[in-house]
Amino acid sequence: MNLKQASLEYVASKQSMGMRFKAEATILSAFVKQMSDTVAVAAVTSANVTHYLTGGKAEPLTLFWHRKHEALKGFWEFAIRRGYTDRSPVPVRRAQEPVRFAPYIYSREELKRLLDGVTSYQKKLVKLEPITLRSMLLLIYGAGLRASEALHLTCGDVDLSALTLTIRVSKFYKTRRIALNTQLCSVLAEYGHNRRQGEHDRSDAAPFFTYKDGGAVVNWALDDAFHRLRNHVGVKRQNARYQPRIHDLRHTFAVHRLTEWYRTGADVQSLLPGLSTHLGHVCLKGTQRYLTMTPELLAEASLRFEGYAKEVLHG
């Protein structure tokens, strides 16, 4: 079995299970291109894999080394199961992993600064109006959406009478319906009314979030607007390469929700699967990445454990 055909089979098998598997497919495609399409799976050597992982350089390894390692490791496990080879050329020992990128968890005060700054962050009018940016930020944080999910909403996906959103074909090729609270519904209703007053198309297939001229908002425009807004209100990491992103609003939603559950004494373990479904994850492992331990969350979790320990000790 040649490398190209086997890698295509592997990617197809993963995608058939509902995984997008886009990054891994790109990594495998690059490796196949480096090796040549016709090379047999069994002919690949450890030296070939090591050269690809390091790029032939002795520079400090990055997180991408580990992404490539995981992708190739998974592929060879698949190839061995299929009988295409009887060994894996992927190094068994992983290089020491660099410190992982940590999502930025916005404080409630920072969220207020961002929302308050929407009306003054731009010096001149641009296509993305303040009401559109503010509505999108509130929705992404308030509902824990991916930015792409908010951008792709159509008017038909927003059912304010039923207090729900339909998120279609998201990251894992899944369509899901999520509940909205009344405050978010009010924000979206006000925004929809604004678009109707502007005589924008509000048919079911029309984009929900639009520019002033009625065109659908695109990702780069949203990212650029958020970057300028963040700088305007001074929300930033000190002396850090990676600055807070719009996607971190989704992380913040998850952390704030978990913190509130701890604070109110809710059964967190029983509620986590629902949070995972709401976020559009295929399993709880995907949700765990969002639950960054902030001091506030850690304090609430500690209080919960302390109360549990007292109950056990005192019967």
Same domain, 220 and 141: yes
**Is the per-residue pLDDT at 304 higher than 60?**
no
65 inside domain: yes
135 inside domain: yes
Phi, psi values for residue 267, rounded to 5° = -80, 90
* C-alpha dihedral sign at 218, 224, 230, 232: negative
Q: Band of the pLDDT at 294, cuts 50, 70, 90?
A: low
95 inside domain: no
Same domain, 196 and 134: yes
91 inside domain: no
201 inside domain: yes
- State the Cα torsion 138-139-140-143 to the nearest 10°: 120
Element (H, E) at 74: helix 63-82
Structure tokens at 39: 């090379």
Phi, psi values for residue 241, rounded to 5° = -70, -45
CA–centroid distance for 50 within its chain:
30
Q: Distance (Å, rounded) from C-alpha 254 to C-alpha 250?
A: 7
88 inside domain: no
Same domain, 199 and 227: yes
Same domain, 40 and 14: yes
**Domain end marker among 201, 233, 265:** 233
A 10 A CB-CB count for 226 gives 23
Same domain, 123 and 168: yes
Same domain, 149 and 202: yes
The position carrying tokens 């990212």 is: 223
Q: Band of the pLDDT at 308, cuts 50, 70, 90?
A: very low
**Is the per-residue pLDDT at 58 higher than 70?**
no
pTM comes to 0.68
Give me the domain span that covers residue 283. Answer: 248-314
Phi, psi values for residue 191, rounded to 5° = -65, -45
Instruction: Please state the domain count of the chain.
Output: 3
217-269: per-residue pLDDT in tens? 999 999 999 999 999 999 999 887 789 999 999 999 998 988 888 888 888 87
Element (H, E) at 176: strand 176-179
Percent helix, strand, coil in the chain, to 5, is 55, 5, 40
**Is the per-residue pLDDT at 128 higher than 70?**
yes
Same domain, 256 and 221: no
87 inside domain: no
Q: What is the DSSP string of 148-159?
A: HHHHT-BGGGEE
238 inside domain: no
Q: Band of the pLDDT at 314, cuts 50, 70, 90?
A: very low
**Domain end marker among 205, 233, 261:** 233
Check residue 40 and report its DSSP letter: B
**Is the per-residue pLDDT at 310 higher than 60?**
no
**Domain end marker among 209, 233, 257:** 233
Same domain, 119 and 225: yes
The position carrying tokens 């990054």 is: 23
Same domain, 217 and 260: no
Query: 95: exposed, middle or buried (C-beta count within 10 Å: 0-12, 13-18, 19+)?
Result: middle
pLDDT for position 161? 94
Element (H, E) at 315: none
Q: Distance (Å, rounded) from C-alpha 135 to C-alpha 38?
A: 52
Which of 222, 224, 228 lies closest to 210, judged by CA? 222
| CB contact at 8 A, 89 and 79 | no
136-195: per-residue pLDDT in tens? 999 999 999 999 999 999 999 999 999 999 998 666 567 889 999 999 999 999 999 999
Same domain, 65 and 113: no
**Is the per-residue pLDDT at 303 higher than 70?**
no
Same domain, 216 and 262: no
Give the domain CATH number at 160: 1.10.443.10
When pLDDT is averaged across residues 188-216 and rounded to a whole number, the result is 94
Same domain, 224 and 121: yes
